[in-house]
Amino acid sequence: MELIVTAEEVARRLGLPVPLADEVRQRVETAVEDAQETLVAHLGRPLLPVQYTESGIRASTSGWILSHAPVITVISAVPDATSLPTPSFGTPTYTVTYIAGIDASTDPETAPLRLWVRATACHHPLLADAPLRQRRIASASVEGQSVTYDTAAEPPVLLAPPDLATTDRWRLRGRRVYQDPVRPNPPGLTVPGGP
């Protein structure tokens, strides 16, 4: 998986020394991958542009009417062999190959997506031993052998991940989550078309 945030960016925010050791790099990259997969699942679309091919597409005066947006570039448009331009059947159809989607790794408008991935990766359990996530000692006594920690055992507020709803601007519209009922209907209640 191509990451939209580098391991070094996350490591700097956690106070880890850069360049990263292989074991630390693997843990940080796993945290970034988990955060990125969560964001992809929420948005219902990939975070990087993807190449698509669609058949049976007709050209219009405003361009191609394609299923995926935003279209970055059209790679090729080849006339379909079964579609010949005749007066009785209208315009011919094409097989269009194009690249579409958001580019969350470089587009300045998608900076909030990168921020969400970085902040969420910083809170991953694999990175709990990072210097900025360690609990701070508020007081210690030698003879009584007691240690009092700061009440904030989590990272500072600056590292707190933003709410996932802040990324809804890029979420596919009309995307709903539906789960089939797991238990039968109560006695006396019937649902049309149901068991």
Does residue 155 surpass a pLDDT of 80? no
> What letter represents residue 158's amino acid?
L
Does residue 194 surpass a pLDDT of 60? no
Look up residue 91 and give its DSSP letter.
S
Domain boundaries, the chain: 7-47+105-170, 50-100
pLDDT value of position 188? 59
The tens digit of pLDDT for each residue in 46-61 reads 999 999 999 989 888 8
Does residue 187 surpass a pLDDT of 60? no
The pTM (predicted TM-score) of the whole model is 0.72
Greater pLDDT, 103 or 87: 103
pLDDT value of position 1? 85
Computed over every residue of the chain, the mean pLDDT equals 82
Three-state SS for 180? coil
pLDDT value of position 179? 47
Per-residue three-class SS string for 111-164: HHHHHHHHHHHHCCHHHCCCHHHCCCEEEEECCCCEEEECCCCCCCHHHCCCCH
Length reported for the chain:
195
- Sign of torsion, CA 147 150 152 158? negative
Dist. CA 48–CA 5, nearest whole Å: 12
pLDDT value of position 25? 96
Percent share of the chain, pLDDT over 70? 75
pLDDT value of position 81? 79
The tens digit of pLDDT for each residue in 74-101 reads 999 998 877 665 555 567 889 999 999 9
